[in-house]
Amino acid sequence: MPDRSITVGIICGGPSPEASVSRLSAGRISPPLEKNYQKVVTLELDKMLPANLALHQVDVVFPVAHGPMGEDGCLQGLLEIMGIPYVGSTVLGSACALDKVATKRILQAASIPMAKDCIVSRGDPLNRSVSQCIEALGEKVIIKPFAQGSGIGIQFAKGEKELEERLRSGFEKDEQLLVETFIHGREVTAGVLELDSPQVLPTTEIITPDNAWYDYTHRYTPGLSEHIIPARISDYQKKRVQEIALQAHQLLRCRDISRSDFMVPENGEPIFAEINNLPGMTPTSLFPDGARHAGIEFEELICRLIDNAMLRKEEPFNGNDYWPIPELNVSSQ
């Protein structure tokens, strides 16, 4: 039996635009954890976090701090230094997965189908960037920040005038932007859950009223999106979505959980869009729905992830047991 006489720390908030959503995730996972573990504390991702982790003698962490600082390896690095096991991807996996461009370049090497893209920079002449994007990607494009989730900062443009306006707006917030060819199709996602072994969850199709963009409001407002499981795509496309989701999870060094998003055209290959290495756990989140349809209820999901993370505490890294280092005879000068 796993040791449940432990202190579990839930970490949320932080400087990310997704801080309020992360607190929704924290509020949802807290009751099942309180039911099953001796002590549960919810902590903010701020400069007092190291002291609070030590004060409460936290044994294991369930991070739900989405976006920069919480999902990009920064929080994970702190926990590694403090020797506290945690749910989710390591520093490397987190850093690669949150950066959309790093994700694409890694997966392109494995020939995973993705939309054509251009990287544009604030310091480049705007008219030249617009022309290059239109020439390379076509008239209709989607513009994305490098490292934001939940649809934050996503813009659409058709034609040179709109693209120039959207880039100008985007450069007010970010130094560089990712511009991609717009792909028509169904929005589909599939999660990967690693417990005893990696398991790909069922495909989920996302429906919004009037085919609206699945933006921040639609993601987190109850009733403004519908999850259809399994997705209404061909059996071949379902299989490919799941294959690519697992491949992306492994190539990006994700751990425990991830969720990959796709645009699936009427016919042909699913187009990989991005990966979420720390999926949300809010009442409208996609990952828990996929797990439930795979036969894993929410309480079991949360507790098994904690128990799995606790196993890593039993095998801490010990540099003395690693590659032997020759003795150096260094005398002081």
**Cis peptide preceding 324, ω within 30 of 0:** no
Identify the pLDDT of residue 80: 96
- 240-273 pLDDT per residue, tens: 999 999 999 999 999 999 999 999 999 999 999 9
Q: Which two tokens stand for residue 70?
A: 């919480």
- Is the full-model pTM beyond 0.85? yes
What whole-number percentage of the chain has pLDDT above 90? 72
Structure tokens at 18: 């997704």
What does the domain layout of the chain look like in residue ranges?
7-87, 116-181, 184-312
Average pLDDT over residues 58-75: 94
Residue 276, strand partner residues: 259
Q: Chain-wide mean pLDDT for the chain?
A: 90
CATH 3.10.20.340 fits 7-87, yes or no: no
pLDDT classification of 317: cutoffs 50, 70, 90: low
> Does domain 116-181 correspond to CATH entry 3.10.28.10?
no
Contact assessment for residue 231 and residue 165, using Cβ atoms and an 8 Å cutoff: no
CA distance linking residue 114 with residue 104, whole number of Å: 8
From the candidate CATH numbers 3.90.1140.10, 1.10.260.40, 3.30.470.20, 3.30.2320.20, the one assigned to the domain spanning 184-312 = 3.30.470.20
C-alpha 70/C-alpha 181 separation (Å) is 29
pLDDT, tens digit (0-9, with 9 covering 90-100), for 191-209? 999 998 899 999 999 988 7
What is the per-residue pLDDT for 221? 58
Please report which confidence band the pLDDT of residue 330 belongs to, taking 50, 70 and 90 as the band edges. Answer: confident
Coil vs helix vs strand at 108? helix
**In the chain, at which residue ranges do the beta strands (DSSP E only) sit?**
7-12, 39-44, 60-63, 117-121, 140-144, 155-158, 176-181, 186-194, 198-200, 204-207, 226-228, 257-264, 271-276
Q: Which of 197, 268, 264 is nearest to 228 (CA)?
A: 264
Cβ neighbours of residue 311 closer than 8 Å, sequence gap 6 or more: 85
